[in-house]
Amino acid sequence: MIMIILNEANFEYDIYSLVKAFYPEEEVSIGVEDTQVECVTPCIYLKVNYKDNLIRIQFLQNKEVILANDTIVNQADRKDTKNRLKRLLYRMLNEYSRKELPWGTLTGIRPTKIPMAFLEKGISKEKVNQILKTTYLISDEKADLCIEIAKRELEILKNIDYKNGYSLYIGIPFCPSTCLYCSFTSYPVSKWKNRMQEYLEALSKEILFTAKAYANKVLNTIYIGGGTPTSLSAEQLDYLLTLLEENFDYSNLQEMTLEAGRPDSITKEKLEVIKAHKVTRISINPQTMKQETLKLIGRHHTVQETIEAFRSARELGFDNINMDLIVGLPEETQEDICHTMEEIAKLNPDSVTVHTLAIKRAARLRMEQEHYKELKISKSPEMIELTEKYCRNMNMVPYYLYRQKNMTGNFENVGYAKWGKEGIYNILIIEEKQTIVALGAGTSSKFVFSEGRIERVENVKDVDNYLARIEEMIERKRKIMTEKKE
């Protein structure tokens, strides 16, 4: 156990997150001195003292100081103070643990925002690289990756209207089954099949409201995600896509993505409906091409069904297909990753998104961990490097990146794509440069104001609640949209 004691409440989240990055499996608590609780098990105390313009950090074990250091700061400059504090803490944790983190002091989920901001100001790639390594202690490899992606993002987003434009997210929270590692808001088709149309009717109210409220705005991208949108029937997909087409102006639409997702939810009839509308990009997501793993994690489809769904989409003319993969699934080895990448290479998709397994608190794998404690979960830099090598060999380069909180191994999720096949919405949701209006149960809208302020408006997660409170969901958006107009 690690206890962090502060002499005043300041930068608590930054300190906690950095300690947790070094010790992801340890229980970490944080508080101010007057709320200190004695450890009942062997533990490390980490004391942070702010006094005038000096920050002092001590590591204590058995009440004895085993490591101590300090740094001079100008507390009037909060950003610089935070960076100096985190560098000091990082170096001490590095000395104590003998570990190095490839992302240095960065614990946030959007590291590419930093180099993008500098590049937009005209700062050279070399200078940005230096800033990333000296200010945030990022490794050479991650600094290069960050800058490569930021430069590509700037090129991809050059025609996006930030001031008067917006993007649209449509959430379909139904799935054929819930995967072992998943914590997203999803409801099993078996229980909700007879109520999906009821959900679409409630969703249509949000759609019609948004279309009217933003009639004078420029719609740049649409993303239909979930859950699994192809959990809907072909008729229901046609209803939804027609509703969008008839109520939104697509004249400035640069991309429309629909997550076909699970191969066991995809049929030729559904693909034909999707193709008949304005969808420009779809995802067919195997996660792995190892059959034993699919069974273990609760995905009720076969590797062959993934292959057949992909080939069917190609035959119907889909020329922008993404595939999602997960590194670190239970019982998978580096050889399994190699096998999956070989099979994906044979299909030759247009983009591949490589996720590193991050087990959230609400996932069955964590909530019922006593049933799964024997499962071996392996993640290594070599596995990640292997996926990058295969993607680059398929003429794909990285175009967006994000990290997840408390991700073991300090890894990242990276989207690779061939030129012109990038997911524009994926970049917008990470870089937070444009308003994204999110509709449906469990979704969260981000309204970006001209001064850079971001306001989030969330919809309730529970589908029954969403159906009962749809007018309230609309009213939440009406308030923030009115403020944004002013």
Q: What is the pLDDT of residues 218-273, one digit of tens each?
A: 999 999 998 899 999 999 999 999 999 999 999 999 999 999 988 989 999 999 99
* pLDDT tens digits, 334-387: 999 999 999 999 999 999 999 988 655 444 444 445 544 556 666 788 999 999
Q: 39: pLDDT confidence band, cut at 50, 70 and 90?
A: low
Residue range 398-407: mean pLDDT, rounded: 84
Q: Model's pTM, two decimal places?
A: 0.91
Distance CA 284, CA 444 (A): 24
- With DSSP H G I counted as helix, E B as strand and the rest as coil, what are the percentages for the chain, rounded to 5? 45, 20, 35
Model confidence at 24: pLDDT above 90? no
Predicted pLDDT at 34: 61
Distance CA 29, CA 134 (A): 29
Q: Flag the least confident range among 207-211, 220-224, 380-384, 429-433.
A: 380-384
Residue range 295-320: mean pLDDT, rounded: 93
State which amino acid sits at residue 464. Answer: D
Could you tell me the domains of the chain? Answer: 2-97 (3.40.50), 113-156 (no CATH), 165-479 (3.80.30.20)
Residue range 47-55: mean pLDDT, rounded: 83
* pLDDT tens digits, 439-460: 999 999 999 998 889 999 999 9
Residue 482 or 288, more confident = 288
End-to-end Cα spacing for the chain: 50
Predicted pLDDT at 367: 40
Q: Name which of 310, 266, 306 is nearest 288 in CA terms.
A: 306
How do strand 165-172 and strand 435-439 relate by DSSP bridges? parallel
Predicted pLDDT at 344: 98
Predicted pLDDT at 363: 47
**Exposure letters 325-340 (e unless 16+ CB within 10 A, then b):** bbbbbbebeeebbeeb
Residue 375 CB neighbours (<10 A): 13
Backbone angles phi, psi at 414, to 5 degrees: -130, 135
Q: Name the burial class of residue 463, with classes exposed (0-12), middle (13-18) and buried (19+) by CB atoms within 10 angstroms of its CB.
A: buried
Q: For the chain, give the percent of residues with pLDDT over 70.
A: 89
Q: Which two tokens stand for residue 439?
A: 């509709």
Question: Do residues 238 and 275 make contact, with C-beta atoms less than 8 angstroms apart?
Answer: no
Q: Name which of 418, 184, 230, 226 is nearest 321 in CA terms.
A: 418
Q: Name which of 458, 451, 459, 449 is nearest 481 in CA terms.
A: 449
* pLDDT tens digits, 62-108: 778 889 999 999 988 999 999 999 999 999 999 999 999 999 999 88
State which amino acid sits at residue 388. Answer: E
Q: Flag the least confident range among 46-50, 156-160, 279-283, 289-293.
A: 46-50
CA angle 388–158–281, rounded 5-degree value? 55
Predicted pLDDT at 181: 53
What is the helix (H) or strand (E) element at residue 70, kind and residue range?
A: strand 64-72
Q: Name which of 401, 294, 390, 378 is nearest 345 in CA terms.
A: 390
